[in-house]
Amino acid sequence: MQKTINDLAQLQDLTMAKAQQEASMSGTRLIQLDKSIEAMLKDLAPELRSRFTKLEAKGHIAIVPVSKSNVCSACGMSLPVSLVQAVRQAEKIHQCPTCARMLYYSDSIPRGTGSQKARRGHPPKIGIARFSSESLMIPQITSTTLEGVLTEMCQKLEDENFVENSDTLINEALKREAIVSTAVEHGLAFPHVRGVEGGGLSFVLGLSKKGIKFGGSPKTLTRIIFFVVIPTAASAFYLKLLSGLSETFRSKEARDKVFGAKTPKDLWKTLVKITKTTVR
């Protein structure tokens, strides 16, 4: 049964990868993803296939991890201890009594810190400021490899107290890239880790003027990288953010503007300005 659970989690990653490709307006890998999804669905038992597709159709989330605090990471409801133990034993597929999503247990769930919560008395954040900050801007990434870039960006999240353990985050990010590259058109990439427990949806922006071989087309170098950490419940917000950023950076003028920034402060000001109408 554990293999079936792993297959379901990977199938969900593929369906989310397809949604990401659609949101980023890049159709180059949709045929490949459709074939992979169809093959994995075909291998599932009919009842399980039906259950997965019905749940996935409601919002892209069909199977979710149980958090370390014994709650459903999708709906946030506390789960009975007996149910958590049964999920951990993985002898059968169990569902959340509240939202009906299928559950699995993982010992390696990355954890956010919630450092972006607004302080009492401060005005609520709007636009891109809901998801990042000046402290998460890297005007020039020093790494020249995929793993090095992910390590540098994950470490930035830990250094700025947005996540607790960058090592766990790096491992999950590499596993996600192994499924299908998150590089898209116009030299952009959106590496990410889904299912982060605690905290909010957050991203680091890093630039590489020389470009990095990030995956996708071997002839295309990636120069603008958004590394995103995504709590399960924020998956829909992620797709909206991705769509807004992709719309912004289809413009060569926008891409040129961010590369004109020399400091984290300049890069943040530029990002806020150019996403004012696309990320709300």
Which CATH number goes with the domain that contains 213?
A: 3.40.930.10
The answer to whether residues 144 and 80 belong to one domain is no
The answer to whether residues 151 and 259 belong to one domain is yes
Question: H or E segment at 72?
Answer: none
The answer to whether residues 92 and 152 belong to one domain is no
pLDDT of residue 5: 85
What does the mean pLDDT of the chain come to? Answer: 87
Question: Which of 113, 200, 126, 229 lies closest to 160 in space, CA to CA?
Answer: 113
Radius of gyration of the chain (CA): 19
What one-character-per-residue DSSP string does 145-185 give?
SHHHHHHHHHHHHHHTTSBS-HHHHHHHHHHHHHHS--B-G
- Residue with more model confidence, 119 or 210: 210
The HSE-up count of residue 238 (CA atoms within 13 Å, CB side) is: 29
Which DSSP letter does residue 133 get?
-
Domain count of the fold of the chain: 2
Which CATH number goes with the domain that contains 30?
A: 1.10.287.1490
User: Over pLDDT 90: what percentage of the chain?
Assistant: 54
The answer to whether residues 51 and 176 belong to one domain is no
Is the distance from CB of 74 to CB of 232 less than 8 angstroms? yes
User: Over pLDDT 70: what percentage of the chain?
Assistant: 91
Is the distance from CB of 14 to CB of 40 less than 8 angstroms? yes
Domain annotation covers residue 35: yes
pLDDT tens string 118-134: 444 456 678 999 999 99
The answer to whether residues 24 and 136 belong to one domain is no
Domain annotation covers residue 222: yes
Domain annotation covers residue 140: yes
The answer to whether residues 139 and 270 belong to one domain is yes
Domain end position, chosen among 104, 137, 162? 104
Angle at 24 between CA 276 and CA 26, to 5 degrees: 145
The answer to whether residues 132 and 238 belong to one domain is yes
Rounded to two decimals, the pTM is 0.81
- Residue with more model confidence, 196 or 43: 43
The answer to whether residues 218 and 89 belong to one domain is no
Domain annotation covers residue 279: no
- Residue with more model confidence, 26 or 206: 206
For 171, counting Cβ atoms within 10 Å of its Cβ (0-12 exposed, 13-18 middle, 19+ buried), the class is: middle
Per the structure, the complete domain to which residue 21 belongs is given by: 2-104
Domain annotation covers residue 204: yes
- Residue with more model confidence, 12 or 121: 12
Domain end position, chosen among 104, 135, 167? 104
